[in-house]
Each structure stands twice: as structure tokens, then as C-alpha cells.
Amino acid sequence: MAATTPEVPAGKLLIKNIGLLLSGALENPVLDADAILCVDGKIDTVAKLADIDSEGVDTTIDAQGTTVCPGLIDSHVHPVIGDWTPRQSQINWIDSYMNGGVTTMISAGEVHLPGRPKDVVGLKAMAVTAQRAFSSFRPGGVKIHAGAPVLEQGMVEEDFKDLADAGVKLLGEVGLGGVKQGDEAKKMVAWARKYGIQSTIHTGGPSIPGSGLIDADVVLEADADVIGHINGGHTALPLDQIRCLCESCSRSVEIVHNGNELAALFAMRTSMELGQPERIILGTDSPAGSGAQPLGILRMIALLSSIGEIDAETVFCFATGNTARQRELDCGLIEPGRVADFVIMDRAQHTAGKNILDSVRLGDLPGISMVVIDGQVRCTRSRNTPPAERMASVVEA
Ligand SMILES: [Zn+2]
């Protein structure tokens, strides 16, 4: 297994000859720069190559005139342990997502563990175990924020304090466990927030036999930080309820691959109409009944840009800077001080698009030629995307 430690290497990395630099920031999605200097796994300088001091650079990547984007963030995954998912009995799925440009994942609950404990002591122990395990084991180098307990009845305020003290920072999807009523969920979400634990709520019909419906009234009453899969996972709420969620609160609008595509487009358009594009974040909600989707985030970008008729550079922000800001992560934006997580890509061979942005606008996926995490090259040509027309390369010293 491609086991890796999360150690960040010391040293300088230079990326030069960037043809298009996507920032991840909605307010300025394309940067006027062609080079990035990174020091010890963090972005140091974003500028024209002529203005960068390349003295003492250890590694140089020649982007060959192609596109650099912040590493993609999958806001909604269900990891269990290591790079194995019992949901579809697959191994190496996380490494495969890295080949689809994903450098950070957020767990919405390790709910697929066979025999998942539902008693309070057991669910807390499991959350701490997942948090520890994924902090020190990164398949493909991907940063997995995990250890997301699912709320069960009988939890008291002290449990949330214990979890926070033990390093747990997320709740699993509210509604997947025994807590499904709005008033009960509201109380626990507030305790979680008090101790710095971020929350996501399941939205829509049951995902699998045994889970239940969470409608707009429950979502609004619970007031979780993220309206998890607002487009259903898989079954969506009626569109008028989705509109109501967008209009009645200011929480993150999470749109996922394993949801209803019509509802996805509706939620995006409604957020845009409200003048709140910054709320839109993307996930896959995988592995799930629909399987694992290594290219799920790229497919969401292509779907929302093409059928949703939104510029591709804007939609890339939904999967990078928006998620980083809504979830308070140190990645997702090309700016000094952020972690050096990048996807280098070009338009796919034989796309009808004139350039990469045009190709995505036409519904095609880009081709990835390199993924960098913490300033370290994690893959060169992606084994999963269509081949890029031009390929980034590491310059031999
Ligand atoms: Zn769900």
C-alpha cells in the first residue's frame, strides 16, 4: 500500500512557466503570475518568474505553460480506516482520488465501519481512533480530516468537551445516527460548536435502508455549520425546500456528486441568484452506494460549469477556496502562507475546448499531469483523468 507519513520536507520548490494560475478565490479567480516559490511545504511567493529569487531552490517544476490550481478539496467523504472502504470492498480509493486532483478530504462520518458502535463510549472511542489514524497515515499524501462521530441519543455536553479535548474537530452527518429530531439535534450541534467542533447535517431522503428523511425544517432547526449534500444523498428534497434552505440561513451549501443532479444545479443557481456564491462547496459523498469516484470533484466542476453555465474559473473556487474558507482550512488558495497543495493540468487531448477553461465549460474534464501536496510531488501523469495535452515535468538539476 502507498503508505506515507505526514512529514513535510524542508526545502524550496519552484513552479515556473505557469500558463494559467487559478487562485481558488472567487473575488479574483485568475492571478497575474507565472511562478510560485514554496518553502518548507508552504507558499512563499506568487509572482512573475523574473521577480522571484530562485537562489537555493531544491526542486523545480516546469509547468510547460499549463494550468496550476489549488489542490481540490472533497468536502464530504466517508472513510473508515486506511485506504480501504468496506462500502464497496475497495482498496486504494483515496490514492485514486489524489490522481483526480483531490489533496484534502473531510470526513462526514466513518459510518461504514462494519459493526459501528452506537453506544456513547464506543462512538467516542471510534472518533478518536479515526482522528489519530488519519492524522498519521495519508494514502497518496492526501490530508484526511477524520474522526467525525455520528450523534446518538444519550450524548451530553460533557461528551462534546471530551471529544474536543481529545482532538476531534468534526461531527459526522447529523441524522445518520439515532438523533433525527430538530430540537435534539439543535442542542447537540450547539454543544459541538461551543467546543470548536464543526457540524454537517444530512439533507434529504434516506441514503441506504436504515437511515431516515431529514427535511428543511429539521435542517433549519438543527442549524449545523454545513447543509450537507443539499442536493440529496441520493434523494433530494423538493426544490422549494432547497430554495428555502438557501434563503433562510447562511450556512454552507454543500453540493455532492452522489446526489440529485437537477437539485445540484438548482441549489447552485439559487445561491448565485442570492448573491452568495461563497457558500457553495463541493463533495462527492463517497464511497457510497454509487461507489467511489476518483474524478468526482472534477466531474462536479464540469457539470456545474457546463450545464449550470458558470465560468469554469469560478466553479474551481467552489472546490478549493470556498471550502477552505467555510471550513477554516490552511489550503485551497494560492497565497503566501497557505500550504503548497497544487494540481497541474491542461486541457485534455482532443477536447473541443479552445483552452482548459473552455473545455470545462463544454463539459469535458481536464487532464492532470502532476499533483503536489505540501510541496512534494505525489503523482505525475494521472492514471485516472484523460491525458493532458501538455505535461508538467520536474526539471533535472
Ligand atoms: Zn448523507
Q: Which domains does the chain have, with CATH numbers?
A: 12-70+333-395 (2.30.40.10), 72-294 (3.20.20.140)
- 138 Cα: distance to centroid of ligand 1 (angstroms): 24
- 207 Cα: distance to centroid of ligand 1 (angstroms): 6
Q: Which three cell numbers stand for residue 34?
A: 507565472
The pLDDT value given to residue 116: 96
The pLDDT value given to residue 5: 57
- 232 Cα: distance to centroid of ligand 1 (angstroms): 7
Mapped onto helix, strand or coil, the DSSP state of residue 63 is coil
Among the listed residues 356, 270, 254, the one whose alpha carbon sits nearest the alpha carbon of residue 313: 356
The pLDDT value given to residue 6: 61
Q: In whole angstroms, what is the distance from residue 334 CA to residue 24 CA?
A: 7
Q: What is the mean pLDDT of each run of 10 residues along the chain (397 residues)?
A: 61 97 98 98 98 95 98 98 96 98 98 96 98 97 98 97 98 94 97 98 87 92 98 95 98 98 98 98 96 98 98 98 98 98 98 98 98 97 98 91
The pLDDT value given to residue 211: 76
The pLDDT value given to residue 4: 57
Whether the CB-CB separation of 74 and 106 falls below 8 Å is answered with yes
- 199 Cα: distance to centroid of ligand 1 (angstroms): 13
- 204 Cα: distance to centroid of ligand 1 (angstroms): 8
> At a CB cut-off of 8 Å and minimum separation 6, what does 162 contact?
124
pTM, whole model, 2 decimals?
0.97
The pLDDT value given to residue 365: 98
The pLDDT value given to residue 64: 98
Whether the CB-CB separation of 345 and 365 falls below 8 Å is answered with no
Q: Which three cell numbers stand for residue 396?
A: 533535472
The pLDDT value given to residue 207: 82
Query: What are the two backbone dihedrals, phi and then psi, of residue 193, each rounded to the nearest 5 degrees?
Result: -60, -40
- 10 Cα: distance to centroid of ligand 1 (angstroms): 39
